[in-house]
């Protein structure tokens, strides 16, 4: 097949995406496919080679890259780079790639692509919308509140105090439409000043901010492949906060696959992952993140429609434990898509 691996883009998760793009390219080439690497950040001049996309994922992209216009994406899709392509293997994370925008452009041009379609991508990327969907289907998710920058909520002292009182515990503050913990803060003893500061930080990445009750417990994630849940992974970061540094710096986090859970809890979490995947209408694969409290109750945090995809990322790790090597995983995702 002629496959376009789409990676990079103009989100804060650009560098992580490039690492996954390189890994997928090598895997697909090992299976005999003809692979073209495409980075939409470069507009119509978007075809890259392996040397051009090799980068350290622990480094955030420059503001110059992040401020590039969305028009670059459209120029890329409409360029000759997609001529004779059978399918696009999507590995762009975050906004302008994982949120349905790029998927819609590909559909308009008639290009097939991997993973979830436009609506499911948009719903999963919108943390507030996805929590509403999950709550409607009785999938446990942490209690939450919303603050909107454009409405002046960050300066509304009465509102901030009401949020602190109602949620009554440690808080997690994060942009509504980012991944990789970009712009996220955990407040163990929140007050109005610290909450406002966290909202301002998150507000540099999004207008709507999600404020969740922090669930004390264990960090779990479950990959869904087709209609099947792969082995549960427990994530144990040094220092207890699985932030951007811990995600992408070697040695900062330990992973236990399969997680040391009872058979009942394992099965329950896996079934919840499949339910969350289906509630949002996801296609082919996803990764569903959970917090497991001290009473062994799992709370679903979010669904990632284009999860990290280097050969050592969590979805490939779970697939390998299940007996699926990385190249075969790439093939299965293409077939399921």
Q: What CATH class has 2-113?
A: alpha beta
Cα 113 to the center of its chain, rounded Å: 17
Task: Report helix, strand or coil for 15.
Answer: helix
The answer to whether 28 and 327 are in contact (CB under 8 A) is: yes
Please tell me the distance from the alpha carbon of residue 214 to that of residue 173, in angstroms, as a whole number. Answer: 9
| C-alpha distances in Å from residue 91, one per residue of 8, 111, 113, 149, 265 | 8, 15, 10, 30, 31
Domain covering 125-140+215-336, topology: D-amino Acid Aminotransferase; Chain A, domain 1 (3.30.470)
Residue ranges covered by each domain of the chain: 2-113, 125-140+215-336, 144-213
Over the range 67-91, which residues count as b (16 or more CB within 10 Å of their CB) and which as e?
ebeeebbbbbbebebbeebebbbbb
Quickly count: other Cβ atoms within 10 Å of residue 247's Cβ.
20
Task: Report helix, strand or coil for 57.
Answer: coil
Task: Report helix, strand or coil for 5.
Answer: strand
Please tell me the distance from the alpha carbon of residue 35 to that of residue 282, in angstroms, as a whole number. Answer: 25
Q: Which CATH number fits domain 144-213: 3.90.78.10, 3.40.50.620, 3.30.1490.20, 3.30.930.10?
A: 3.30.1490.20
What secondary structure letter does DSSP report for 234? E
| C-alpha distances in Å from residue 65, one per residue of 10, 13, 40 | 6, 11, 11
Residues identified as active-site: 13, 180, 248, 287, 289, 302, 304, 308
Please tell me the distance from the alpha carbon of residue 214 to that of residue 203, in angstroms, as a whole number. Answer: 19
The answer to whether 180 and 12 are in contact (CB under 8 A) is: yes
The answer to whether 220 and 259 are in contact (CB under 8 A) is: yes
Instruction: Give the relative orientation of helices 157-167 and 192-203 as an angle to the nearest 10 degrees.
Output: 100
Cα 169 to the center of its chain, rounded Å: 26
217: tokens are: 């417990």
Average pLDDT, consecutive stretches of 10 residues, N- to C-terminus, the chain (337 residues)? 96 89 96 98 95 75 77 96 97 91 96 98 95 95 96 96 97 84 90 96 93 96 97 86 48 88 98 98 98 97 94 92 97 97
User: Are 125-140+215-336 and 144-213 equal in CATH topology?
Assistant: no
So what's the pLDDT on residue 52? Answer: 85
So what's the pLDDT on residue 57? Answer: 67
Those residues whose C-beta lies under 8 Å from the C-beta of residue 246, and which sit 6 or more positions away, are: 237, 238, 239, 252, 253
Dihedral angle at the C-alpha atoms of 71, 2, 179, 226, nearest 10 degrees? Answer: 140
So what's the pLDDT on residue 12? Answer: 82
Dihedral angle at the C-alpha atoms of 306, 19, 179, 329, nearest 10 degrees? Answer: 30
Rounded to two decimals, what is the model's pTM? 0.90
- Per DSSP bridges, beta strands 171-175 and 185-187 are antiparallel
Those residues whose C-beta lies under 8 Å from the C-beta of residue 264, and which sit 6 or more positions away, are: none
Q: Which of 171, 173, 196 is nearest to 183 (CA)?
A: 173
For residue 90, list its beta bridge partners: 6
So what's the pLDDT on residue 68? Answer: 83
210: tokens are: 């999600």
For residue 315, list its beta bridge partners: none
């Amino acid at each position: 097949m002629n496959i376009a691996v789409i990676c990079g883009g103009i989100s804060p998760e650009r560098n992580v995406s490039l690492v996954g793009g390189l890994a997928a390219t090598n895997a697909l080439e090992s299976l005999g496919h003809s692979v073209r690497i495409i980075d939409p950040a470069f507009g119509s001049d978007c075809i890259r080679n392996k040397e051009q996309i090799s980068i350290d994922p622990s480094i955030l992209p420059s503001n110059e890259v992040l401020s590039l216009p969305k028009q670059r994406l459209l120029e890329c899709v409409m360029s000759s780079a997609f001529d004779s392509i059978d399918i696009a293997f999507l590995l762009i994370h975050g906004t302008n790639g994982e949120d349905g925008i790029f998927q819609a452009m590909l559909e308009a041009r008639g290009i097939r692509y991997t993973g979830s379609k436009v609506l499911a991508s948009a719903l999963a990327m919108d943390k507030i919308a996805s929590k509403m969907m999950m709550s409607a289907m009785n999938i446990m998710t942490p209690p939450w509140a919303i603050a909107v920058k454009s409405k002046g909520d960050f300066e509304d002292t009465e509102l901030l105090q009401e949020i602190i009182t109602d949620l009554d515990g440690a808080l997690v503050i994060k942009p509504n439409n980012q991944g990789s913990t970009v712009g996220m803060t955990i407040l163990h003893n929140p007050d109005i000043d610290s909450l406002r500061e966290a909202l301002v930080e998150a507000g540099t990445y999004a207008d709507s901010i999600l404020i969740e009750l922090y669930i004390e417990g264990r960090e779990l994630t479950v990959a869904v492949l087709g209609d099947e849940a792969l082995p549960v992974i427990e994530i144990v970061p040094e220092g207890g906060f699985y932030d951007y540094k811990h995600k992408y710096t070697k040695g900062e986090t330990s992973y236990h696959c399969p997680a040391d859970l009872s058979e009942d809890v394992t099965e329950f979490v896996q079934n919840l992952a499949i339910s969350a995947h289906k509630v949002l209408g996801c296609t082919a694969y996803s990764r569903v993140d959970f917090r497991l409290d001290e009473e062994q109750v799992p709370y679903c945090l979010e669904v990632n429609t284009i999860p990290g995809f280097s050969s050592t990322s969590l979805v490939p790790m779970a697939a390998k434990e299940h007996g699926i090597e990385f190249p075969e995983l790439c093939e299965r995702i293409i077939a399921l898509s």
